[in-house]
A and B are shown apart, each in its own frame.
Chain A
């Protein structure tokens, strides 16, 4: 059988262990979807696959056991999901136009979780719209707060939700709940002075624990939503490492811009001999130097006044 494996992979199918048998990867940006799409998955698995379905690490589904010749039919069957999840598509009925940039994953966020500082699925979808389709190997993840349930520090771009806590002294009952919570669960940014909490902005990570702990709404959330952007975390065989702090108190628009700028940077500097045309961004940065990367990434980006950019940026990670 003659099959162009590069084209197959780009179309979100896989080469598997079994000859002439593939597996389709269905992405769910932000990890949240309407239940009405589940019967579609079931039908594809039972009609074209082997009747099973794998829940992926990146919040998608893989349906294995599909024979190569059924790929066009599977793509046609996927159309309602691709449209329903608002995935940018180049040709109707032709499935996913790219698979290089991975699904943007998110924790459940503030749609459900009390700690979530924003709607993670909505941001994941916004980024998806801006970056997809793209063949470059980018991993992006969003999480509602610094608990980082989505493990965003293992991604090229990690986004953690923050709120800038506001204090209304007239509502403070001096119970000390915020100070205790911040000490025990967060960074110990609060201390009591003259019966009331004092916030150390250097230590504060905008987690919102003080807002949640206050029994009388003395602490409240900022109208603006802020984020911490971490950079260039990765797993893999060569030199795994955690994403490092990049910008604290960044806004959504700047995040999207920095990600898009980084695509331009990668197009310029990616190793032309990279296997499969894929190279972790971090290795490219190791080659060009951080300063060159920052020049590209921060082009035309206007950060909020409150934003703090970590300097110098340095990664070490695990060496084998």
Chain B
């Protein structure tokens, strides 16, 4: 059901959510850049629709509003373990079509890949999504190539208009609110991007043979293995475990899981002192192939959603989409044709 909603009505709706939900959206954090006197667009809690940044892409994805960077799984004493309570409130998250497509990937990894992840499930079950219509593509976006420009499993969709917002609201409970506060009904479909400046073509015959291609060597030196590409990625879910012993006692502590990056040193360290993928080019290869090859082998669709954040954040200006477009030549090189 579609409506025309003005800012005041939108704010009323947001106020009504407050009891049950924290609302997260891309916001401008003044002075929040790593550089001095510069801002950062990142996810934060909002009270009003005007807080939402629609005209820029967030540097980090919605993932940080959903999955804690560092999450205590349990506290332990010598005898017992205690699981921390769940968050008091659910969350309403504003996100774009690429990101909503990423939610499907997160769900498949946390809920459909063996036993359900208890911690993810208890957060996920209380999340509602607001799709932000995309009236234009940003330079680094390649959602059309990845087929993620048409995600539709949202509770509410909002398109920015000059005189307010065009809202599509499949969520019946929410739709009632808009009906009752006098919003004019109108048919609304999400604003979609149908073409990106960045286009990606993946070779049909992509296989692990491409490991042998020379293209990876370039990244041994160019990549500084900082891991930013992983931390901004809406589909990276790797974490590492940390057992923390409270120092005064030494026998009491907590186990937490913390976001990890396959680009950062230590990711492949194993018991006994082994370590794999020491070169940054090898790490790049692993990441690329996970995003556009082996994940698909298992799930039938690509992991990468083409949001382009890894391109935008890389301090060394390494373009992930360019690497994807180099895979075809890489396959030709290794197959000798």
- Please list 25 pairs of residues, one from A and one from B, whose beta carbons are closer than 8 Å in the complex, sorted by A's number: A116-B36, A118-B37, A119-B37, A144-B36, A163-B36, A172-B70, A173-B260, A174-B258, A175-B227, A175-B261, A175-B265, A176-B265, A177-B264, A194-B244, A208-B36, A212-B34, A214-B34, A215-B227, A215-B228, A215-B231, A217-B40, A217-B42, A217-B60, A223-B31, A225-B36
Nearest-Cβ distance from residue B324 to partner chain A, whole angstroms? 22
The interface size of chain B toward A, counting residues with CB under 8 Å, comes to: 26
Interface class of chain A by DSSP: loop
Given A173-B69, A175-B227, A216-B69 in contact, is the A221-B258 Cβ separation under 8 Å?
Answer: no
Within B217-244, the residues touching A (CB, 8 Å) are 226-228, 231, 240, 242, 244
Q: Does A170 contact B (CB under 8 A)?
A: yes
Contact B259 A217 (CB under 8 A): no
Say yes or no: A221 contacts B227, CB within 8 Å: no
* Cβ-based interface call for B68 (8 A): yes
Contacts of A118 in B (CB 8 A): 36-37
- Distance, CA A223 to CA B228, complexed state (A): 24
Which residues of B are in contact with A by a Cβ distance under 8 Å?
Answer: 31-32, 34-37, 40, 42, 60, 68-70, 226-228, 231, 240, 242, 244, 247, 258-261, 264-265
Nearest CB of chain B from residue A157's CB, rounded to whole Å = 21
Q: Which residue of A lies closest to B69 (CB)?
A: A171
Residues on A facing B (Cβ under 8 Å): 110, 114, 116-119, 144, 161, 163, 169-177, 194-195, 208, 211-217, 220-221, 223, 225
A170, B69: Cβ atoms under 8 Å?
yes
Give A97 to B13 CA distance when docked, in angstroms.
64
Pairwise interchain contact B258-A195, C-beta atoms closer than 8 A = yes
B315 to chain A, nearest CB (A): 9
Contact of A216 among B35, B68, B259 (CB under 8 A): B259
Which 8 A/B pairs are nearest by Cβ-Cβ distance?
A110-B36, A215-B228, A215-B226, A216-B231, A175-B264, A173-B259, A215-B227, A195-B242
Query: Are B36 and A221 in contact, CB atoms less than 8 angstroms apart?
Result: yes
Given contacts A173-B260, A223-B31, are A110 and B227 in contact (CB under 8 A)? no
Q: CB distance B244 to A195 under 8 Å?
A: yes
Min CB–CB distance B278 → chain A (angstroms) = 16
Closest to B259 in A: A173
Q: Could you tell me the distance between the alpha carbons of A183 and B139 in the complex, rounded to whole angstroms?
A: 37
* A-B contacts besides A177-B226, A214-B34, 14 pairs, CB < 8 Å: A110-B37, A114-B34, A116-B36, A118-B36, A172-B69, A173-B258, A173-B260, A195-B242, A211-B34, A212-B35, A216-B60, A217-B34, A221-B31, A221-B36
